[in-house]
Amino acid sequence: MDYNVIINNLPLYLNGLLVTIQLVLIALVSGFGLAVPLALMAVSKNSFLRYPAKAYIYFFRGTPLLVQMFLLYYGMGQF
Amino acid sequence: MILEGMALTIEVALLSLFISVILGLFGAIAKLSKSRIARSAATVYTTLIRGIPDLVLMTIIFYGGQIIVNNIGDSLGWDYIDISPFVAGTLTIGFIFGAYMTETFRGGILAVSSGEIEAALAFGMSGWKVFFRITLPLMVRHALPGFGNNWMVLAKTTALVSVIGLHDMVYNAGVAGGATRQPFTFFLVVALMFLCITGLSDLGLRWANRRYSVGVRKV
């Protein structure tokens, strides 16, 4: 195996790493921002608040991430 | 076409579940064994697998495994061996979830009270007999919730095999969606199919949980 390829392309990897870290942080913050209100909705006594939250949780936990991403990215082209 | 893909998805999921359970049992035994080599080997396995994304592992095993197998094959004078996406995908998913199962089973085995095992040993059972007749059945109750979680994540992970070219539900939906220019509709159907799999599994697991908790607690 040619290890020089890896070393020569190190800047490329580092750029990618930066994007990865960015994605992690943005997803973490926005996920937290969504999770707190949704958690409050899910334990609410009002069923108009509770059921949408439960449906949201059920859908996103029960379907693969890849399919969700395809649905959003490729799927939006349909409209 | 989607239904054909679904059959393949379920096939991949069940086969890799089988592999992961076997690996998980061996991993758990290794992690709890007295031998330091077995313990550290199992620790390296679980740490490595849990720290690498599924997609990266799958592409490494699919593309890299092909090269390695044929390099070995060349030196031994074998013909060209083609690793199919099915084999690579199933093995990878089984391999990944073997690590998660190891942790689940380890916790389950630890939760079995040592008195039960001592009693079995006092009856003169051998180590393996104790494991298969006492520890394993008693461990199921403790491992079941974690096992169920792993199974559902595993079922969803099978969506990744579409990336290495296996014609599963997701792949077929992509093709059909591209041809008809209705990708949203097709992917939505796939999402609902996955929801069916996970929803039904959830019901089944709740039932199993009740069965295995008989006499212990009301669920």
In a domain, B219, yes or no: no
Q: Does A71 touch chain B (CB under 8 A)?
A: yes
Span B146-198, pLDDT tens digits: 999 999 999 999 999 888 888 888 988 988 888 888 889 999 999 999 999 99
Inter-chain touch B159–A79, beta carbons under 8 Å = no
Q: Does A67 touch chain B (CB under 8 A)?
A: yes
Span A18-74, pLDDT tens digits: 999 999 999 999 999 999 999 999 999 999 999 999 999 999 999 999 999 999 998
Span B200-214, pLDDT tens digits: 999 999 999 888 888
pTM of the model: 0.85
Inter-chain touch B157–A70, beta carbons under 8 Å = no
Contact B86, B167 (CB under 8 A): no
Q: Does A70 touch chain B (CB under 8 A)?
A: yes
Q: Does A32 touch chain B (CB under 8 A)?
A: no
Q: Which of A67, A77, A78 sits opposite B191 (nearest CB)?
A: A67
In a domain, B56, yes or no: yes
In a domain, B217, yes or no: no
Q: Does A64 touch chain B (CB under 8 A)?
A: yes
CATH number of the domain where residue B109 is located: 1.10.3720.10
Q: Total structural domains in chain B?
A: 1
Please say if the pLDDT value at position B79 is more than 50.
Answer: yes
Domain that holds residue B87: 2-212
- Predicted local distance difference test score (pLDDT) of residue B1: 77
DSSP chain B: -HHHHHHHHHHHHHHHHHHHHHHHHHHHHHHHSS-HHHHHHHHHHHHHHHHS-HHHHHHIIIIIHHHHHHHHHHHHTPPP-PPPHHHHHHHHHHHHHHHHHHHHHHHHHHHS-HHHHHHHHHTT--HHHHIIIIIHHHHHHHHHHHHHHHHHHHHHHGGGGGTTT---HHHHHHHHHHHHT-HHHHHHHHHHHHHHHHHHHHHHHHHHHHHHTTTT---
In a domain, B218, yes or no: no
The chain B residue lying nearest A69, using CA atoms, is: B187
- Predicted local distance difference test score (pLDDT) of residue B187: 92
As for the ipTM of the complex, it is 0.82
